[in-house]
Structure 1
């Protein structure tokens, strides 16, 4: 059992002990078996407290303009239960169960406002019971939300919102993968690595063991350059392992962060020693172009990232401000994680996730006037991984976000106690001129020098 597995098991045992008021012993063996199964390995299985309901997800996609998200207090009689046990639950779903008050409140709200419950689950971290409803009456969704906002039983009432990843395919620059006689070692084409001095930074840190949650589409966990890098895989939208492995955007983001070339062939990630938690919360669009997520799938992925003790959470996506997601991101920040989010093309820093205080906003270097708070990183013609063991060039702030997350992993491998504020200060201290592009960009060596005394000469200076 690796470090992540032990962390998962330990955290769940603590929750069980608090719930039952005793230390786990032999009489709990039947409860522990499904827990160990849920924590072991990187199998593509539903997380322990969430049941994937494809029918409910299809309803949300087909009738999204009538869907709302509501949270109510989860009262003290609610008891967390291990996956696979039969105590209570939401319609028999495995995981945490809510009793009495929370369920009664949700049922009463459905009756009072002519709502149909689509799905519901307790968010233990926020001490709430979360439900997705479809508005079935004659009133508009906005009218119902306005009434719910004034209902003392309700903590959050919001639309079920949509979010999109921020990337596009781009043509290969001069000296591409099709160059005659090319030997398959593509590092010379990774201009972004040179811009941020990542190869020089690797003399100090490779991000060894740092857990980076990639909340995105699926990831090709079998890609040779990700061998041994993906330690956890969860799917919140489809339960289709084959499709998970064919998803393009998550594979590309994971490659920028943690690719580790096999036998000297392939590309190098910013933090090739990092551990990737591949959390699929987004559907890949037709032909691999564009991906979208919603409030529910992102919330579920964030909860699992928190419970898996992710040290870095990469959100290469953007959408409208979202109260539920903002609360979960804030919880993760309060408990030591660093969250990196993508700036949308219009530069709106009120959007989710960059609008949440303390989230590190990342954008493409050289995009013009941007707020001084934004960390700029490479994002044009980024050579990265694609499914099926392949490679391609892509562009967008999705990949700027991944570059920044990789540098954060380098920092945390040197000093795991850094919080998001100190990480951000180090990133700002490391801003410099990119060696390949000549644009102002974050510099991995400069950031490492800001937190340690290790010598990290930039590649250009070392030559």
Structure 2
């Protein structure tokens, strides 16, 4: 696949220790974006990370994480006991060109940890609902929801669970009405249905792509663990991703959650260029600017940062 083997300069733009492990950055085409945008102003963009918290003092995250809230214990303690939130935070906002660790998509963006996932990796839907309303009240610009629940019919749900699902739908609608852009992971069970809330038409659903060897050639291909369905899904790197982890370490990880982090970082740049950008316009730009991966299985849209930014800059200049 010629596109994957194109000449790139991404590794020459950063001095981070593990830069050669960052294949995801290479493939999302972000070189021109980094050059076009005033990254110092990214600090004005706030990402609400609804997850397991974030290790704010990690060497590659400190300074890019601000105070959030713990909805499990109703406190300001958003330390990460599980690791998932710190994984995703690194993909979005790890500091680049600091000579250590990795580089995130959008170094400088402010991550607000909204902790709903406990040390065992479990979350309560109503804590997620509360986190979304907190984001609305505290002027968050983007919400990353790298989690989901399996979609089942209303007849199979008990009344309490159905009420909680409906409450989450309402909260998401309120957030979108307030110009918050919501990105969510499609799920990792290889099912024919997308996890909720990524399954909502209003939400930007993200799937995972990996680099696979086929007939002695390396190509980008949809991950086998992806959930899929009739809804449009934008794809991003989600296999063998090296990122930040708890206890000031790094780890390889995978999943549609991680892929959602790449999309969230790109959306942060989109919000930087157009602070009034809404959910509908963001989705339109993302899919219109996507690179279509075509292989022996199917065609899928893969996120392309530079295409999005160039399109937005042209639109801005022509206004």
The residue that corresponds to 1:367 in the other structure is 223
Structural mapping, 1:297-376, within 5 Å: 297-320=127-150, 322-345=165-188, 346-347=190-191, 349=193, 351-365=195-209, 366-367=222-223, 371=230, 373-376=232-235
C-alpha distance in 2, partners of 1:217/1:432? 32
The alignment of Structure 1 onto Structure 2 pairs a total of residues equal to 265
Residue of structure 2 in register with 1:174 after alignment: none
CA distance in 1, matches of 2:123, 2:176: 22
TM-score scaled by structure 2? Answer: 0.76
* 1:52-91 alignment, distance < 5 Å: none
User: Partner of 2:314: helix, strand, or coil?
Assistant: coil
Q: Name 1:428's counterpart in structure 2.
A: 287
Task: Report the counterpart of residue 225 of structure 1 in structure 2.
Answer: 60
Distance 2:73 2:246 in 1: 18
Structure 2 vs 1, CA of residues 395 and 284 (structure 1 numbering), >3 Å: closer, same or farther?
A: same
Which consecutive residues of structure 1, in runs of 5 or more, have no partner in the other structure?
1-182, 286-290, 455-463
Alignment gaps of 5+ in structure 2: 1-14, 152-164, 210-221, 294-299
Match of 1:447 in 2: 308
**1:220 is paired with a residue of what secondary structure?**
coil
2:239 matched residue in structure 1: 380
Distance in 2 separating the partners of 1:373 and 1:273: 30
CA displacement 1:248-274 (0-9 Å, x = unmatched)? 000011111111147322211111121
Contact 1:208 1:413 in 2 (8 A): no
User: Alpha carbon RMSD of aligned pairs, Å?
Assistant: 2.6
Cα distance 1:215–1:406, how it changes in 2: closer, same or farther (>3 A)?
Answer: same
CA distance in 1, matches of 2:267, 2:78: 29
Return the offset for 1:320: 4.2
C-alpha distance 375-238 of structure 1, shift in aligned 2 (>3 A): same
The residue number in structure 2 matching 1:41 is none
The answer as to 2:245 corresponding to 1:389 is: no
Contact 1:224 1:262 in 2 (8 A): no
* Residues 243/270 of structure 1: CA separation in 2 closer, same or farther (3 Å cut): closer
1:136 aligns with: none
The question of whether the paired residues in 2 share the 8 Å contact of 1:330 and 1:356 is answered with no
Query: Structure 2: how far apart are the matches of 1:259 and 1:196?
Result: 16
Query: Which structure has more RCO (C-alpha within 8 Å, separation ≥ 6)?
Result: 2
CA distance in 2, matches of 1:306, 1:387: 28
CA offset digits 1:135-156 (Å, max 9, x no partner): xxxxxxxxxxxxxxxxxxxxxx
User: Following the alignment from structure 1 to structure 2, what is the Cα–Cα distance between the partners of residues 242 and 211?
Assistant: 19
- How far is the alpha carbon of 1:427 from its aligned partner? 0.8
